Amino acid sequence: MTDPREFIHRLPKAELHLHIEGSLEPEMMFALARKNGIALPYASVEAVRAAYDFSDLQSFLDLYYAGAAVLRTERDFYELTAAYLRRAIADEVRHAELFFDPQTHTARGVPLAAVFAGIAGALRQARAEHGFSGRMILCFLRHLSEAEAFATLDAALPLRAEYAGLWIGVGLDSGELGNPPEKFAGVFARARDLGLRVVAHAGEEGPPAYVRGALDALEAERIDHGVRAEEDPALLRRLVETQTPLTVCPLSNLKLRVVKDLREHNLARLLRAGLCVTLNSDDPAYFGGYLNANFIAAAEALALSRDELAALARNSFRASFVSEAERRPWLDEIDALAAR
């Protein structure tokens, strides 16, 4: 198998940094807007796509939250998730830990139970029909207060038993600058006490101090993005030592101008320095590609070797929250493919 695209396609992969609301394709946005009687500020699907020209994280978030407003019912969340899972399965993604943003929906009067039920329904169906392994990570919006995050966690707890084994953790997303991890130390401590896994976005636009804050104040088990950690050599050494994963999103970083050109992306340097780097698609409907597209773009821009591509796939399972026994067959499959 000499074609790197074929190799990438066939590698079993886990997706650890995917906002389910960020998989809302313009076609579905229009269909749901029509069904739910919601006016969109765009005349056509093409006009929506043309608007996806971002200058930074906030310019994206403004459109992302506006787009999410078409999601109203359990069925809408089911359809959204099912569509993502079809694409993931086609990309040979075997396991996904999906982020969802309840506050974006409850603020519009959507019941939290409908959000959970829709996403979980599609995950359970994919498990039954394809053996797909899926989990849910509830993200707090960091531009809102810690009190609002606590209220969201409290509202979700009564649903925990119903979604045991699916809802496994909490994360932190939205506008990073000005909203350091320390703001959420209390609610993350509560989540950890409850036995939830914890991850946080840090070092996407924010400085290395935010990555340190996510590690020290939140005890984050993975850092989402984290690419700006490179500016702090002592922090990099710590990340190598602890093998704390960075869930890196190349096409996202390009579209949000975290990097000017993918050839300047530091993911290969970070990988070669011994960090546990994984590749992910973040908000694929907005950033121009699902997981394999991210692998292909990174491989071509950074001349990643087959061994490095296999290492990235292995890292995705090592960094996931599944048990050793669950990840073993996927790792064996990667080894077998890499040995050919």
* From Zn ion, ligand HPA, none, interface partner of 57 (C-beta below 5 to 8 A by class): ligand HPA
Size of the site for ligand HPA (CB under 6 A): 11
Nearer to Zn ion, 74 or 282 (CB): 282
Residue 230 is a binding residue for ligand HPA (CB under 6 A): no
To ligand HPA, the closest distance from the beta carbon of 10 in angstroms equals 28
**Should residue 308 be labelled a site residue for ligand HPA when binding is judged by CB under 6 A?**
no
Task: Find out whether 222 and 196 touch, Cβ atoms under 8 Å.
Answer: no
Binding flag, residue 230, Zn ion (CB under 5 A): no
**Residue 79 touches which of ligand HPA, Zn ion, none (Cβ within 5-8 Å per kind):** none
Contact status: 97 vs Zn ion (CB under 5 A): no
d(CA 117, CA 254): 33
Tokens encoding 116: 């959970």
Q: What is the edge-to-edge ordering of all strands in the sheet holding 93-100? A: 13-19, 93-100, 133-141, 167-173, 197-202, 222-225, 246-248, 277-279
Q: How far apart are CA 340 and CA 336, in angstroms?
A: 7
133 binds ligand HPA per the rule CB under 6 A: no
Q: By CB under 5 A, tell whether 282 contacts Zn ion.
A: yes
Rounded to a whole number of angstroms, the minimum distance from the CB of residue 24 to ligand HPA is 11
Within 8 A by CB and 6+ apart from 305, the residues are none
- For residue 204, the partner it binds in ligand HPA, Zn ion, none, with Cβ less than 5 to 8 A by kind, is ligand HPA
What distance lies between CA 295 and its chain's CA centroid?
Answer: 15
List the catalytic residue out of 74, 79, 204, 230: 204
- Annotation says 92 is catalytic: no
- Closest distance between ligand HPA and the C-beta of residue 53, in Å? 16
Q: What is the CA radius of gyration of the chain?
A: 19
Helix axes 306-318, 324-338, angle to 10 degrees: 170
Q: How far is the CB of 68 from ligand HPA (least distance, A)?
A: 10
Closest CB 143 distance from ligand HPA, rounded Å: 9
| Contact map string, positions 161 to 200, toward ligand HPA, x by CB under 6 A | ------------xx--------------------------
Element (H, E) at 138: strand 133-141
Q: Is there binding between residue 153 and ligand HPA (CB under 6 A)? A: no
Alpha-carbon torsion (271, 267, 101, 127), positive or negative:
negative
Q: Does 204 bind ligand HPA (CB under 6 A)?
A: yes
Determine how many CB atoms are found less than 10 A away from the CB of residue 75. 15
Among residues 25, 79, 91, 283, which is the contact residue for ligand HPA, using CB under 6 A?
283
Distance CA 97, CA 132 (A): 11
Question: b/e for 11-29, b at 16 or more Cβ within 10 A?
Answer: bbbbbbbbbbbbbbbbebb
Judged by CB under 6 A, the residue of 12, 22, 213, 226 near ligand HPA is 22
Assigned token pair, 299: 């491989």
Nearest distance in Å: CB 46, ligand HPA = 23
Parallel, antiparallel, or unpaired for β 133-141 and 93-100?
parallel
Distance of closest approach, residue 28 Cβ to ligand HPA, in angstroms: 17
> Based on CB atoms, which residue is closest to Zn ion, 40 or 256?
256
Amino acid identity for residue 184 in this structure: F
Q: Which is nearer to ligand HPA, 67 or 118 (CB)?
A: 67
Task: Confirm or reject binding of residue 203 to ligand HPA (CB under 6 A).
Answer: no
Residues that bind ligand HPA (CB under 6 A): 19, 22, 57, 64, 173-174, 201, 204, 252, 282-283
Catalytic residues: 204
